[in-house]
């Protein structure tokens, strides 16, 4: 101990001397001669250097919490929730403070790399060798220029997962339009949560996630959203849970899931549903709300005469019900709902009719109430219809745009870009043959006419050469060789494509890269991020680099701009004018000059300092069946039906549609793919799911609090915390109900094999008496074969390897939770 102290004193003294020397030099050499005084002064000032706090945004999940990053002597050593950020409110989820593991990950790419091994495969070492940024960018641009000259620019595709606003995702569309490809950019939304968005588009015309007024809601009916471990924005939801459970009146919560999870455990009522049957449950609740007269008359409307005609099994006459903000209620009742009784739903869902009635009564009599959902009910072939039935409950109790209800997120007041892409189009960009090419994933074609993106199809389509073969594919923040359903196909597909990966980390897709242009990690980036929907009013946070880049990496937005500058013709000129991410952000921030944030942010500099711009004014409110717009003091300006249609309920009728015009436009396609008669396609209705596989057990792969999609797999601290619960290194747990396990001769702790049509994976059995006996649970994020030294050891079970690539024909969402498998002792 004594020795250590002596050493430290000596080291500090030496360091102090150096400081003294430097300050002495500045003072004309005198200080250096005065001996110990400046040394003591320097020590008192900052014995270990200054601590700097920079604003940033956590990037481990899509919640986008504002963070304060503490840096001392150029090293980041702590991350806290930013008290000035309205999502974080000074708090973080358990992953939030782990950002330093990303920054200092020893397995990071240290700079641009090129592949030297032409063979690609799981067991092939790519043989990466370092190259300069110039060589990397020239190689990529050279390839893109040659493709364009050959009239094949459509064979370049750019895929992305997380996109972060104006500084990268905001640039992709123009890149595609100027270069000439329908494939810039293909987002991962169809492998994420498109189902809930499409259900809303079909009913209220907004292809979007919702914002919710959790501060004022009194009842939540939760269908398969992991409120206390995933969903979004997770950290904020935990804060809101605390608020809802301590306010008066306390918000009551019923959760519907297929397994026990923290949300189920903390809810007032936990209902175990047979997978993929949430639509039936929601329809039965609607049936009870109508037959018991619990609907919100001011929003929905009422019978024209006093007679209450909603009786089980009986139709109501046309014209007997005067609809207000809803459309198609009479047909919905007559053609679907009148027979969707709780008893019928019990036979479909396995939830007792008594529980369904109780839930319906609570939901129907407690105002305000909301029904929420996420991937649970929607990651099935019937997911959009299930989501529509759930969302219809919100219309029946009048919670759309109401206090304590739900609405849609407003965007920030951004300024424009310095130049306009339309002014930089050459003939090829404007009229080239690429314009008649479909996207590689066929989104928007006759095959997937209702989908905006179908990323999971791109790999298989390339392999088949249908609609064509890709030449070059660039990946940003997405790793389909691991996260796509049936990722084995992507491994085959990317063998003969020139792959550009932008990940800072050696993920699975990066192992197939021909060139790696590594991004900074989020703590090194200057980057904006408009908020994930939460309270509806506009907000945009900013990442300010906490440290200089640790390695020779580049912000991907700047990489894209640099590639653009190297494309021949006007496109290159456009990107020279765009210049850099910083320039883009400075122009975006000009919008704040005329619309300053509530926290005083009115410029790029003040945005950097505060880390967030926001305005806590949501512009619209529905009150007692009328819509009002904010006039600067209150919701005082009554809106006309046309204004409501233009701004809020964006359906063909301008009303909430129980008979969806959006679906009716695609009625033949829906009949062909889902077997729903075309004449009925628009109705909110029960459609049976088609499960993949012949197994006798359902298989789900949910997210857990310390998992961060696939990209958090290399954080040892997170793995250690998860280990006893869901397993980690070499002990991936498959959770099985003990009866199910014993019937197959499987003991707690046994190694087991889970089989689907695609093959099998292994894991260790963990008895879980609180799950449904017919459902196996294996959390996502295990089973990496790359991504870093700690991630790699989390074998054997990667759920994706036994998940077939089947999607909901309407939303295009990959049906991750629809597989049927078998399990046996390994
Ligand atoms: N901790 C953490 N949080 C995250 C993420 C993360 O990786 N880690 N990722 C973010 C992302 S990208 C997304 S998309 C969201 C996803 O957020 P969620 O959709 O809330 O999360 P999931 O875990 O995909 O699935 C939710 C639940 O659906 C259940 N489920 C499966 N099948 C059914 C069914 O048929 N019916 C019902 N009712 N339930 C069913 C599962 O058991 C699971 O509990 O989470 C976000 N938040
Ligand atoms: N079996 C199964 N599969 C699923 C799911 C499931 O529940 N079960 N959930 C699905 C869902 S909801 C989603 S959202 C998808 C997510 O799947 P992906 O879109 O593949 O997203 P991640 O798994 O997070 O992979 C992101 C990649 O980005 C890289 N990366 C990390 N940080 C950075 C960075 O700062 N810059 C750049 N350029 N790259 C970075 C990582 O190395 C990683 O390879 O997975 C889906 N896959
Ligand atoms: S909720 Fe998501 S963004 Fe927020 S701290 Fe946790 S991981 Fe980070
Ligand atoms: Mo997702």
pLDDT in tens, 105-132: 999 999 999 999 999 999 999 999 999 9
Distance, CA 64 to ligand 3 centroid (Å)?
Answer: 6
Tell me 52's DSSP state. Answer: E
**Averaged pLDDT of the chain:** 93
Ligand 3 contact via 371 beta carbon (within 6 Å): no
Q: Indicate which atom in ligand 1 lies nearest the CA of residue 93.
A: 1
Cα–Cα distances (Å) from 682 to 673, 679, 686, in that order, read 14, 8, 12
* 3-state SS assignment for residue 408: strand
Task: Return the half-sphere exposure (C-beta side, CA atoms, 13 A cut-off) of residue 479.
Answer: 24
**Best mutation site among 231, 234, 539, 612 for ligand 3, i.e. most ligand atoms within 8 A of its Cβ?**
234
Element (H, E) at 657: strand 656-657
Neighbouring residues of 610: CB distance < 8 A, sequence distance ≥ 6 = 55, 84, 597, 599, 600, 601
Residue 248: predicted pLDDT: 97
Closest approach atom of ligand 1 to CA 817: 32
Contacts of 776 (CB under 8 A, 6+ apart): 697, 698, 699, 700, 734, 735, 736, 740, 754, 821, 823
Banded model confidence at residue 5, pLDDT cuts 50, 70, 90: very low
Instruction: Say what angle helices 353-365 and 278-291 make with each other, to 10 degrees.
Output: 60
Quick one: which atom of ligand 3 is closest to the CA of 60? 7
Identify which of 313, 351, 319, 352 has the alpha carbon closest to the alpha carbon of residue 335.
Answer: 313
Please give the average per-residue pLDDT across 532-549, as a whole number: 97
In this prediction, residues 499-517 reach a mean pLDDT of 98
Closest ligand to residue 702's CA: 1
Of 395, 329, 394, the closest CA to residue 321 belongs to 329
Which among 665, 699, 722 is positioned nearest to 818, based on CA atoms?
Answer: 699
| Closest by Cα among 232, 237, 159 to 191 | 159
> Which residues make beta-bridge pairs with 474?
158, 500
- How many A from CA of 376 to the centre of ligand 1? 6
- Contact yes or no for 572/578 (Cβ under 8 A): no
Closest ligand to residue 63's CA: 3
Residue partners of 135: CB distance under 8 A and separation at least 6: 112, 114
Does residue 796 have a cis peptide bond before it, meaning omega lies within 30 degrees of 0? Answer: yes
Does the C-beta of 700 come closer than 6 Å to ligand 1?
Answer: yes
Distances (CA, A) of 376 to 65, 259, 275, 403: 24, 11, 8, 26
Instruction: State the CB neighbour count (10 A cutoff) for residue 25.
Output: 12
Q: What ligand is nearest to the CA atom of residue 234?
A: 3
Distances (CA, A) of 431 to 179, 409, 424, 491: 12, 36, 13, 35
Instruction: Provide the 8-state DSSP code for 576.
Output: H
* Distance from Cα 228 to the centre of ligand 3, integer Å: 12
Residue 598 — very low, low, confident or very high, per pLDDT cuts 50/70/90? very high
Atom of ligand 1 nearest to the CA of 62: 10
- At residue 26 the predicted structure's pLDDT band, cuts being 50, 70 and 90, is very low
Condensed to tens digits (0 to 9), the pLDDT of residues 640-698 reads 999 999 999 999 999 999 999 999 999 999 999 999 999 999 999 999 999 999 999 99
- The per-residue DSSP string of 174-185 comes to HHHHHHT-TTEE
Per-residue pLDDT, 47: 56
Q: Which residues contact 701 (CB under 8 A, 6 or more apart)?
A: 777, 778, 779, 780, 799, 800, 803, 816, 817
The whole-angstrom separation of Cα 777 and Cα 169 is 34
pLDDT tens digits, one per residue of 218-243: 999 999 999 999 999 999 999 999 99
Tell me the ligand closest to 108's alpha carbon. Answer: 2
Q: How many Å lie between the centroid of ligand 2 and the Cα of residue 711?
A: 5
Ligand 1 lined by 532 (C-beta under 6 Å) = no
pLDDT at site 726: 86
Please state whether the peptide bond connecting residue 185 to the residue before it is cis, i.e. omega within 30 degrees of 0: yes
Which pair of structure tokens corresponds to residue 380? 């099935």
Tokens of residue 104, six digits: 């200092």
Calculate how far, in angstroms, residue 98's C-alpha sits from the geometric centre of ligand 4. Answer: 20
Selection from 763, 607, 645, 720 nearest residue 101 by Cα? 720
Task: Tell me the pLDDT band of 794, cut-offs 50, 70 and 90.
Answer: low
- Model pLDDT for residues 719-763, shown as the tens digit of each residue: 888 888 888 888 899 999 999 999 999 999 999 999 999 999 999
Q: Which helix (H) or strand (E) holds 508?
A: none
Closest ligand relative to 209 C-alpha: 1
Kindly write down the DSSP assignment for every residue of 460-492, as one continuous string: HHHHHTSS---SEEEEES--HHHHSSSHHHHHH
Mutation test residue for ligand 2: of 477, 506, 581, 700, the one with most atoms within 8 Å of CB = 477
Region 5-20 average pLDDT: 38
Tell me the three state secondary structure of residue 94: coil
Q: Counting Cβ atoms within 10 Å, is residue 12 exposed (0-12), middle (13-18) or buried (19+)?
A: middle
CA distance 667 to 450: 11
Sequence-distant (6+) residues with CB within 8 A of 487 are: 480, 481, 508, 798, 800, 801
Please say whether the beta carbons of 802 and 758 come within 8 A: yes
Contact 444/451 with Cβ under 8 angstroms? yes
Return the pLDDT at 72: 95
pLDDT digits (tens, 9 = 90+) for 46-67: 556 889 999 999 999 999 999 9
215 band by pLDDT with thresholds 50, 70 and 90 = very high
What is the percentage of the chain residues whose pLDDT exceeds 70? Answer: 94
Q: Is the CB of 355 under 6 A from ligand 1?
A: no
Buried b (16+ CB within 10 A) or exposed e, 480-505: bbbbbbbbebbbebbeebbbbbbbbb
Tell the residue nearest (CA) to atom 2 of ligand 3.
Answer: 61
CA of 108 to the centre of ligand 4 (A): 24
Residues 6 or more apart from 332 whose CB is under 8 A from it? 658, 659, 683, 684
Query: What's the angle, vertex CA 20, arms to CA 15 and CA 23, rounded to 5?
Result: 130
Residues 6+ apart with CB under 8 A from 235: 63, 65, 81, 87, 88, 91, 92, 93, 96
pLDDT band at 141 (very low <50, low <70, confident <90, very high): very high
Two tokens, residue 275:
């997978």
Query: What's the 311 CA to ligand 2 centre distance in angstroms?
Result: 49
| CA-to-CA dists, residue 83 to 65, 263, 471, angstroms | 10, 26, 47
Q: Averaged over 260-275, what is the pLDDT? A: 97
| Predicted local distance difference test score (pLDDT) of residue 164 | 82
Cα(237) to centroid(ligand 3), Å: 11
What the block records as the tokens of 702 is: 């949910």
What six digits make up the tokens of 764?
Answer: 């260790």
Rounded distance from Cα 91 to ligand 3 centre (Å): 9
C-alpha 245/C-alpha 239 separation (Å) is 10
Q: CB of 65 closer than 6 A to ligand 3? A: yes
CA atoms of 159 and 484, how far apart (whole Å): 12
Is the confidence at residue 310, as pLDDT, over 80?
Answer: yes
Among 251, 365, 404, 258, CA closest to 357: 365
Q: What are phi and psi of 758, to 5 degrees?
A: -85, -20
**Contact between 579 and 544 (Cβ < 8 Å):** no
Structure tokens at 7: 């050493």
Place of tokens 């020893």: 106
**Per-residue pLDDT, 95:** 95
> What ligand is nearest to the CA atom of residue 87?
3
The CB density around residue 56, as the number of other CB atoms within 10 Å, is: 29
Pick from 276, 335, 396, 360: which is nearest to 690 by CA?
Answer: 276
The owner of tokens 């793995």 is: 719
The confidence score (pLDDT) of residue 225 equals: 97
Contact 819, 693 (CB under 8 A): yes
Q: What's the pLDDT tens digit per position in 608-644?
A: 999 999 999 999 999 999 999 999 999 999 999 999 9
231 CA to centre of ligand 4 in angstroms: 9
Residue entry with tokens 């359906």: 651
Is any ligand 1 atom within 6 A of the Cβ of residue 814?
no
> Mean pLDDT, to the nearest integer, of 502-513?
98
Take atom 16 of ligand 1 and give the residue whose Cα is closest: 231
Please determine, for residue 327, whether its predicted confidence score (pLDDT) is greater than 50. Answer: yes
């Amino acid at each position: 101990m004594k020795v250590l102290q002596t050493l430290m004193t000596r080291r500090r003294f030496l360091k102090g001397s150096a400081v003294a020397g430097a300050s002495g030099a500045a003072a004309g050499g005198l200080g250096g001669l005065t001996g110990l005084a400046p040394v003591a002064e320097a020590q008192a000032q900052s014995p270990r250097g200054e601590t700097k706090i920079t604003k940033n945004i956590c990037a481990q999940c899509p919640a986008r919490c504002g963070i304060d990053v503490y840096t001392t002597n150029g090293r980041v050593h702590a991350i806290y929730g930013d008290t000035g950020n309205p999502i974080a409110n000074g708090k973080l989820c358990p992953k939030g403070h782990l950002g330093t593991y990303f920054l200092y990950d020893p397995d990071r790419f240290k700079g641009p790399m090129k592949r030297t091994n032409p063979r690609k495969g799981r067991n092939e070492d790519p043989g990466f060798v370092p190259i300069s940024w110039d060589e990397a960018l020239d190689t990529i641009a050279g390839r893109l220029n040659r493709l364009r000259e050959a009239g094949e620019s459509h064979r370049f595709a750019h895929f992305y997962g997380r996109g972060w606003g104006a500084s990268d995702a905001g640039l992709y569309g123009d890149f595609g339009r100027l270069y000439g490809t329908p494939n810039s950019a293909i987002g991962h939304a169809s492998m994420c949560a498109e189902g809930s968005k499409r259900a809303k588009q079909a009913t209220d015309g907004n292809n979007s996630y919702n914002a919710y007024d959790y501060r004022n809601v009194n009842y939540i009916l939760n269908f398969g959203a992991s409120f206390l471990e995933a969903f979004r924005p997770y950290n904020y939801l935990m804060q809101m849970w605390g608020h809802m459970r301590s306010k008066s009146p306390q918000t009551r919560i019923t959760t519907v899931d297929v397994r026990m999870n923290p949300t189920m455990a903390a809810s007032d009522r936990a209902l175990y549903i047979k997978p993929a049957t949430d639509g039936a449950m929601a329809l039965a609740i609607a049936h009870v709300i109508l037959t018991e007269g619990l609907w919100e008359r001011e929003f929905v409307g009422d019978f024209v005469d006093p007679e209450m005609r909603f009786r089980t099994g009986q139709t109501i006459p046309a014209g007997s019900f005067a609809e207000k903000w809803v459309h198609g209620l009479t047909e919905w009742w007559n053609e679907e709902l009148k027979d969707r009784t709780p008893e019928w739903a019990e036979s479909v869902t396995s939830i007792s009719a008594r529980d369904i009635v109780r839930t319906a009564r609570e939901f129907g009599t407690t105002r305000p109430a909301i029904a929420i959902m996420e991937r649970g009910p929607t990651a099935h072939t019937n997911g959009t219809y299930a989501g529509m039935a759930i969302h219809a409950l919100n219309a029946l109790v009048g919670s759309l745009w109401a206090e304590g209800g739900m609405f849609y997120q407003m965007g920030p007041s951004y300024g424009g870009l310095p130049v306009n892409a339309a002014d930089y189009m050459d003939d090829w960009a404007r009229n080239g043959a690429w314009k008649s090419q479909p996207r590689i994933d066929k989104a928007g074609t006759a095959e997937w006419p209702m989908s905006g993106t179908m990323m999971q199809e791109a790999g298989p389509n390339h392999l088949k050469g249908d609609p064509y073969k890709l030449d070059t594919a660039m990946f940003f923040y997405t790793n389909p060789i691991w996260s796509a359903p049936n990722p084995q196909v992507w491994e085959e597909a990317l063998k003969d494509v020139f792959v550009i990966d932008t990940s800072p980390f050696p993920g699975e897709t990066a192992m197939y890269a021909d060139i790696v242009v590594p991004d900074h990690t989020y703590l090194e980036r200057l980057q904006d991020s408009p908020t994930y929907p939460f309270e509806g009013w506009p907000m945009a946070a900013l990442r300010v680099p906490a440290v200089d880049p640790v390695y020779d990496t580049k912000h991907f937005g700047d990489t894209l701009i640099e590639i653009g500058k190297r494309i021949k013709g006007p496109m290159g000129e456009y990107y020279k004018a765009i210049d850099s991410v910083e320039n883009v952000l400075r122009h975006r921030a000009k919008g704040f000059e005329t619309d300053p944030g509530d926290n005083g942010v009115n410029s790029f500099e003040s945005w950097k300092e505060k880390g967030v711009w926001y305005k806590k004014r949501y512009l619209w409110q529905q009150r007692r069946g009328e819509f009002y717009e904010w006039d600067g003091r209150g919701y005082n300006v009554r809106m006309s039906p046309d204004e409501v249609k233009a701004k809020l309920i964006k359906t063909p009728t301008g009303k909430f549609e129980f008979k969806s015009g959006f679906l009716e436009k695609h009625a033949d396609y829906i009949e062909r793919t889902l077997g729903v008669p075309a004449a009925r396609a628009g109705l909110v209705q029960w459609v049976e799911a088609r499960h993949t596989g012949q197994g006798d057990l359902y298989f789900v792969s949910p997210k857990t609090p310390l998992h961060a999609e696939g990209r958090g797999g290399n954080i040892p601290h997170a793995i250690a915390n998860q280990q006893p619960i869901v397993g980690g290194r070499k002990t991936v747990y498959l959770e099985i109900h003990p009866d199910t396990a014993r019937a197959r001769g499987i003991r707690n702790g046994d190694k087991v094999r889970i089989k689907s049509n695609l093959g099998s994976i292994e894991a260790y059995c963990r008895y879980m008496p609180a799950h449904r006996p017919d459902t196996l649970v294996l959390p996502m994020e295990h089973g990496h074969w790359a991504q870093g030294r700690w991630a790699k050891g989390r074998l054997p079970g990667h759920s994706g390897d036994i998940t077939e690539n089947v999607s909901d024909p309407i939303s295009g969402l990959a049906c991750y939770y629809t597989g049927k498998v078998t399990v046996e002792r390994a």
